[in-house]
Structure 1
């Protein structure tokens, strides 16, 4: 990761190392990401199409632990390596996972800090939108390198039309959903401003091209919810 990208990401992620903010974190994603529980469930089902019963699964962006918990409960034979740069978020994951932690190894850092594997499956949910195109391609390529041949990879993140006039329409929809779910409008406006100014969001077509360039030539869309998209591909 180049210095500018790492600096921008650290600036945006600073709140994820704030204990008070992290304590409230579990309330946020279900309000801002339509169908988040279903996304976690679908992710596990898609991985299970090719992953063995005793799979080793790499989870990049594992802080918070929600997708780890969903997959660990659904697949009692799977073991996981979860990677995240935010220490407080990893501590939250430990609390969320509870006794499931016996099958999880948590690593503080980025993709370069992850073990080489090989892994039987991998996920990267709500994480790649922190990275610019070059670093995103490199990161997904490093995930690809750590997978056994034909192993599945699921990625999901902010991905929506970026054309003139289109971007604001979709950001308004991003903000409308949590308000409809009961979030405070002032908090939502702050989140919208942060997303508009800091997230490295691209169009779905650009995101698919990045996945292909990183080695996932069969990447296919399986999830679309306002400003969020998800893909399944194989190494």
Structure 2
């Protein structure tokens, strides 16, 4: 379904309710630049560096786009966690329709330590920026703990720029991009208002620092387009 949620006046802050879930795949591919290409990069990188039968957890798996991409490697053991019941239902339906085995878990991301065992890779794709800033370091500490030795963490995030003038220009460029994807200026403004105090980005350096504080020694960026970046960190 086409994302037209913000073509009308907003009446509440953004949340992943049933209306968003119904249009999520259209929303995410039109709102995040090079979204599909980034998923392909994640698949390519993990396919090269992970061992056979690696266990992979996607935190905030939404409708399972990343996990379904990873299912091309049929020996991966795939797990998806999301706190939205509607997202899990949609993800399960998509996986079942494609005959793909994915273990879905309806749970809060902050409760990751309740999961059995450890993982060879954990992915947090455009999810961390929805976690309250004061809780992010604790979550990353838990993620580090749930990784096997030599495990990999992939973090995809929207980021801020330190310079206020540059940040304003970057926002203009991003909103122009969204207009090329078929969103009206009204829809763009409505969504920006709905996301205020819900999606709170860190700067690039702030993300690097909390990763280092969690214990990750090796961190690199493998993709960036203005205010979106993807990082890989090694335990």
* Matching of residue 33 in structure 1 with residue 20 in structure 2: no
Point out where structure 2 has 5 or more consecutive residues left out of the alignment. Answer: 1-11
103-112 or 203-212: which moved more?
Answer: 103-112
Q: Does residue 79 of structure 2 align to residue 81 of structure 1?
A: yes
Q: CA deviation at 1:164?
A: 2.8
SS at match of 1:159: strand
Partner of 2:203: 203
Is the 1:123–1:155 contact (alpha carbons within 8 Å) kept by the matching residues of 2? yes
Where does residue 172 of structure 1 map in the other structure? 172
Corresponding residue of 1:98: 96
Unmatched runs of 5 consecutive residues or more in structure 1: 1-10
Question: In 2, distance between residues paired with 1:176 and 1:198?
Answer: 22
Contact persistence 1:12–1:198 (CA under 8 A): yes
Higher helix share: 1
Q: What is the Cα deviation at residue 210 of structure 1?
A: 1.1
User: Structure 1 residues 21-30 or 160-169, which shifts more?
Assistant: 160-169
CA contact (8 A) 2:179 2:185 kept: yes
Kindly indicate whether the alpha-carbon contact (under 8 Å) linking 1:31 and 1:177 is maintained by their aligned counterparts in 2: no
Asked if 1 retains the 8 angstrom alpha-carbon contact of 2:14 and 2:195, the reply is no
Higher share in strand: 2
1:232 maps to 2:196: no
Q: Residue 108 of structure 1 aligns with which residue?
A: 106
Q: Which moved more, 1:189-198 or 1:35-44?
A: 189-198
Q: TM-score, normalised by structure 1?
A: 0.86
Q: Which residue in the other structure is 1:216 paired with?
A: 216
Structure 2 equivalent of residue 53 of structure 1: 52
How far apart in 1 are the matches of 2:147 and 2:109? 13
C-alpha separation between the residues in 2 aligned to 1:197 and 1:113? Answer: 22
In structure 2, the CA distance between the partners of 1:12 and 1:40, relative to structure 1 (3 Å rule), is farther
The CA distance in 2 between the partners of 1:111 and 1:223, in whole Å, is: 24
Tell whether the 8 Å contact from 2:13 to 2:195 is kept in structure 1 after alignment. Answer: no
State the 1:31 CA deviation.
0.8
Q: Is the 8 A contact 1:83 1:106 kept in 2?
A: yes
Question: Retained in 1: the 8 A contact 2:178–2:188?
Answer: yes
Report deviation, 1:40. 0.6
Measured at CA, do residues 185 and 60 of structure 1 come closer, stay the same or move farther in structure 2, by a change above 3 Å?
Answer: same
Number of equivalences = 222
- Is the alpha carbon distance of 1:188 and 1:101 closer, same or farther for their aligned partners in structure 2, counting shifts above 3 Å? farther
1:172 CA drift (Å):
2.2
Q: Secondary structure at the match of 2:164?
A: coil
Q: CA RMSD in A?
A: 1.9
- The secondary structure found in structure 1 opposite 2:207 is helix
CA contact (8 A) 1:162 1:202 kept: no
